[in-house]
Amino acid sequence: MREWHLKYRKIKNLLFHFTLFLAACAVIIPLFMVIQYVMIKGFNSLNWDFFTHTPKPVGEVGGGMKHAIIGTFIIVGIAGSFAIPLGIICGAYLSEYGRGKIAALLRLSTDVLTGIPSIVIGIFAYLLVVVPLKQFSTLAGALALSIIILPVVIRSTEEILKLVPRHIREAGLALGLPRWKMIFFIVIKGSRSGLITGVILAISRAAGETAPLLFTSFGNMYYSTSLTNPIASLPVQIYTYAISPFDDWQRQAWAGALVLIIIVLGLNLISRLIMNRQQLGFGRRK
Amino acid sequence: MTETDNTVLKVNNLNVWYGDFHAVKGISLEYQRNTISAIIGPSGCGKSTYLRCLNRIHEETPGARAEGEILFQGENILSKMVDPVRVRRSIGMVFQKPNPFPGMSIFDNVVVGLKLQGIKKKNVLMEHAEKCLQKAALWDEVKDKLNRPGMSLSGGQQQRLCIARSLAVSPPILLMDEPTSALDPIATAKIEELMSELKKEVTVIIVTHNMQQAARIADNTSFFVLGDLIEHGLSEDIFTNPKNKKTEDYISGKFG
Amino acid sequence: MNITSQQLIDEILEMSSLVEAILEKCMDMKVHRDQLEELENKVNQFHIKIDDDSFKYIALKQPHARDLRIALSMMKMNAQLERVADESYNLRRYFKDLEILPSSIKSLHDQVRKMIRGAIDALVTNNTYLATEVIKSDRHANELNREIMKDYVEKMKNNEISFDEGLSGIRVAKNLERIGDLSTNFAEDVIFIVSGSDIRHQSHLKDKS
C-alpha cells in the first residue's frame, strides 16, 4: 500500500517537472524561431553598402540604412542625455528619502508612465513639439523617447540603490560625511554596475520603439542630423520599407530588422555581463 | 575641561525612546582618555542604542528620540544646534557587520574620509593610508594589493579595513558596536590584539555581547539591563567582585 | 589590565630571590634580625600581590592549558615560598642559641639551599628533569635530619650537651627539613606546569619518612 503512494508521488513530481519544462520551451522556442527567421531573411542583405549608404531612388537596387542607423543613435542619444540623469536623481530621491507624500506621488507617476501606451506618448510629444514648430523633428522624437526611458531608469535606479545595505550608509555618515556626499560618492558610486545595467536596458527598449516616432520624428529618406527637421530611425525605416510594394525595400527591411535585433539583444547581453561581474565581486568571500 | 581632568566624554542622564518604548533610562557615565570601556548586558538592553547616540547615528533610525547631555570638548553634542557631521568627524564608529564600501578598492576605502574632506594629494593620502593600515594591523597583508576591491578581503580583514578607514580621519574617540561578533575566533583575536595598541592613541567605547571579550580587553566595564545602568567600574573589580547581585548573576552565566 | 602568565612567573622569580636571600642569611649571625624582618615583609607583600594578580588574570583573561596551569601554580608556589621565608625567619630564633654549629646542620642548610635553587632553576628553564632531581634529593635531606636528631638525642642522653642546646639544634634541623619539603612541593608544581601531570603523593620518587 505504501509503495503505491510513493510511486504515485513520484509520478506527480515527474508530471509537474515536465509541465514546467514545456512552459519553458513555449517561451524559448518562439524566441529562437523569430531570431532564426529574421536571420535567414535578412542576413544576405547585410553588406557594407547597407551600413554606409542612404536609400537609392525607388526601383534602383542597392542603397542602405545608414541614415536610419545614425538617426536612431541621435534620437536615443538626445533622449537619454535628458532622461538618464533626471531618472537617476529621481531614483536616488526615492531610495534615499523615500518616505512622505512627494515620494509616494513620484512612485505613482512613474508607475503610471510605464503603463501609458507608447503611441499615446507619441501623441503627447506631437502636441508639445510638432504643433508649435509646425513640423516633425528630431527633438519631438527625442522627447517621446525620453518619456519612455525616464520611468524605467527611475524604477531600476531605486531598486538598485535599495540593495545597498543600511549599514553601508551609516558607515558613510559615521565618517563625518554630509548626507549628499554619502549618497553620491558612496551609494551611487558603489552601485555603478547596477545603474549602468538599468540604463542600458532602458535605452535598448527605447531604441526599438516605433509608434511614438511615427508622428514625431516622422522619418526621412535622406540623411539629416538637423534637430528641427524630420529624421530617419531604424524602426520607422523598417516599417516604411516593410509595408512598401517593392521587393528590394522589403529585403532591406529584413536586414534592418536583423540589425535592430542585434542591437537590442547585444545591449541586453552586455548588461547581463556587467551585472554578473559585479555579482561576483559582491559575493566572493563570506 | 581642565588639563588635569582626564575625562574625554561625559554622558549625563541620557534617555532614549523609540516611539513609546523607553530604550535607555537615564544613564550617566564618564569616559577617560586612552582607555577601553566596554558595555555588556543581555540582548535588547539598550547597549547599541546608547552607543549610537554618542555619535548621533541614532538619528538615522526613524522614531528615535534622545534627551540628555553628552559633553564632548566643552559642548553638548546632543543638542540640535550642533552639526552631527562635525561630531562624527571626532567620534568614529565601527559596525557589527564589516562594511567596506562597494565598488571601491582597499586604498580608496581607507582614504575616502580624507578625500571627501578635501585632501587630494596622492602622496599625502598614500602616507595616511599606510599609517592607518599599520595601526589596524592590516598593512602587511594588503600592501601589495591596494587596488583590489575592498570586498575581496576575508571577513576579519574587511573589519580591520573598516577600522583603518575610521582611523584615517583621526577621531579621538572610536565607538565599536559588537565589532567581532560576525567574525571567526582567529579574526576576533587579531582585532582584540590591535585594540590594546589602538588605545594608546584613541579612546575606545565598545559594545559587546561577549562578556569574556570585555574581561579580556576593557579597562572599564558597564553593565546594562533593559535600559538601566546596573553597575560600572574597573573590569578587574566587576569580574572578580561585582557589587550588584544582578551583575554577579549575569557574569556567572545565570541569566541572559 | 594587561597581565600575562610570563609576568606572573617574573613576579614569582622576584619573590624567590628574596626568599633565597633570607634562607642564606638566617644562619649568618652577622646579619641582624631587623634585616631579615625587612626581607620577610617584602616577601609577604609579594604573597598578597601574586595571589591578587593570579586571581585577576584568571578572571579577566580566561587562560587555558599551560597559561591556566601557570596561574594556578603561581598561587601555590607563592604560598610555599612564603612559608620558606617564614621558616627561615623563625629558624634564626633557635640558631642564635646554638653554641656549636655541627657540620651536619651546615650540610643540611647547604642541601636545602641547593634544593630551592634547583626548583627555581627548573621553573625558569622548564626542566622537569631538574625538578625530579630536586624531589629525589629530599630523601637525602630527610636522612640528614634523622642523623642530626639521633646525634643530638645521643649527646643529650650522655649529658655531652645541655638540654637547651639539643632542643635548639633539633628545631633548626626541623625547620631546614621543612624547607626541603617545601622545595619539593615547588618542584612538583613545576612538573605540573610543564607536563600537566600531578605527581604528588607518588612514593617511588620520595621517601615517606
DSSP notation for B241-255 = S-SSHHHHHHHTTS-
Q: Using the beta-carbon criterion (under 8 Å), do B112 and A186 form an inter-chain contact? A: yes
* Cross-chain residue pair A176–B89, CB shorter than 8 Å: yes
Which residue ranges of chain B lie beneath pLDDT 70? Answer: 1-4, 256
Local confidence band at A269 (pLDDT 50, 70, 90 cut-offs): confident
Cα–Cα dist B3/A87, whole Å: 55
Chain C nearest-CA distance from B127, in A, is 31
Q: Which chains lie within 8 Å of chain A at 3 or more CB pairs, if any?
A: B
CA-based nearest residue in chain B for residue C1: B219
B137 in a domain, yes or no?
Answer: no
Which residue is associated with the grid cell 597559561? C67
pLDDT tens digit sequence for A204-241: 889 989 999 988 988 888 888 888 889 889 899 899 88
Q: What pLDDT shows up at residue C204?
A: 59
Is residue B161 included in any domain, yes or no? no
- Nearest-neighbour CA in chain B from A162: distance (Å): 13
Interface of A with B (CB under 8 A): 99, 164-178, 181, 185-186, 189-193, 278, 281-282, 284-286
Q: Considering the domain boundaries, does residue B24 fall inside one?
A: yes
Q: B26 in a domain, yes or no? A: yes
As a whole number of angstroms, the distance between CA A253 and CA A272 comes to 28
Nearest CA in chain C to B240: C59
For residues B231 and C42, give the distance between their C-alpha atoms in angstroms, rounded to a whole number. Answer: 35
Judge whether B181 is closer than 8 Å to chain A, CB to CB. no
**Tens-place pLDDT, residues A18-77:** 999 999 999 999 989 988 988 888 888 788 778 888 888 777 777 788 888 888 999 999
The CATH class for the domain spanning A65-282 reads mainly alpha
Distance CA A164, CA A159 (A): 9
Q: What is the pLDDT of residues C70-98, one digit of tens each?
A: 999 999 999 999 999 999 999 999 999 88
What's the confidence (pLDDT) of residue A277?
A: 73
Report pLDDT digits (tens) over B120-165: 899 999 999 999 999 999 999 999 999 999 999 999 999 999 999 9
Q: What is the extent of the structural domain holding B237?
A: 7-99+171-251
Of the partner residues B84, B90, B99, the one whose CB lies closest to the CB of residue A171: B99
CA distances from C195 to A111, C67, C70, C189 (A): 75, 12, 11, 10
In this complex, the chains that touch B, judged by 3 or more CB pairs closer than 8 A, are A, C
Which chain B residues are within 8 Å of C60, Cβ to Cβ?
A: 215-216, 235-236, 239
State the pairing for strand pair B203-207/B173-177.
parallel
CB C193 within 8 A of CB C70: yes
Q: pLDDT grade, residue A246 (50/70/90)?
A: confident
Element (H, E) at C164: helix C163-195
Query: At what angle are helices C163-195 and C128-157 packed, to 10 degrees?
Result: 170
> pLDDT digit string (tens) for A130-175?
899 888 989 999 999 999 999 999 999 999 999 999 999 999 999 9
Phi, psi of B67 (to 5 degrees): -130, 150
State the SS3 of A115-160: HCCHHHHHHHHHHHHHHHHCCCCHHHHHHHHHHHHHHHHHHHHHHH
Q: How far apart are CA B32 and CA A39, in angstroms?
A: 76
Cβ-Cβ contacts under 8 Å between B and C: the total is 22
Write the CA distances from A214 to A145, A226, B246, B249, C163, integer angstroms.
12, 17, 79, 80, 135
Predicted pLDDT of residue B222: 96
3-state helix, strand, coil in chain A (%, to 5): 75, 0, 20
The pLDDT profile of chain C, 209 residues, written as one tens digit per residue, is: 688 999 999 999 999 999 999 999 999 889 998 999 999 999 999 999 999 999 999 999 999 989 999 999 999 999 999 999 999 999 999 999 888 899 999 999 999 999 999 999 999 999 999 999 999 999 999 999 999 999 999 999 999 888 989 999 999 999 999 999 999 999 999 999 999 888 888 765 554 44
Residue A147: the pLDDT is: 95
For A193-202, the pLDDT digits (tens) are 889 989 998 9
pTM above 0.90, yes or no: no
Q: Has residue B11 been placed in a domain? A: yes
Q: Is the pLDDT of residue A284 over 50?
A: no
Contacts of B216 (CB under 8 A, 6+ apart): B192, C60, C61, C62
Chain B interface with C: residues with Cβ < 8 Å: 196, 212, 215-216, 219, 235-236, 239-240
Chains B, A in contact: 3+ Cβ pairs under 8 A?
Answer: yes
Residue type, A58: V
Residue B185 lies in a domain: yes
Number of domains forming the structure of chain B = 1
- Say whether B18 sits in a helix, a strand or coil: strand
State the amino acid at position A161 in one-letter form.
L
In this prediction the ipTM stands at 0.91
Is B192:B213 a contact under the CB 8 Å cutoff? yes
Does B155 reside within a domain? Answer: no
Q: Which residues pair with B40 in a beta bridge?
A: B223
Q: Write the CATH number for B47.
A: 3.40.50.300
- Taking the domains of chain A in order of start, what are their residue ranges? 65-282
| Structural domains of chain C, ranges and CATH numbers in brackets | 5-195 (1.20.58.220)
What value does the mean pLDDT take over residues A101-105? Answer: 93
Q: Does residue B149 belong to any structural domain of this protein?
A: no
Give DSSP secondary structure letters for B97-149: S--PPTT-BHHHHHHHHHHTTT---HHHHHHHHHHHHHHTT-HHHHTT-TTSB
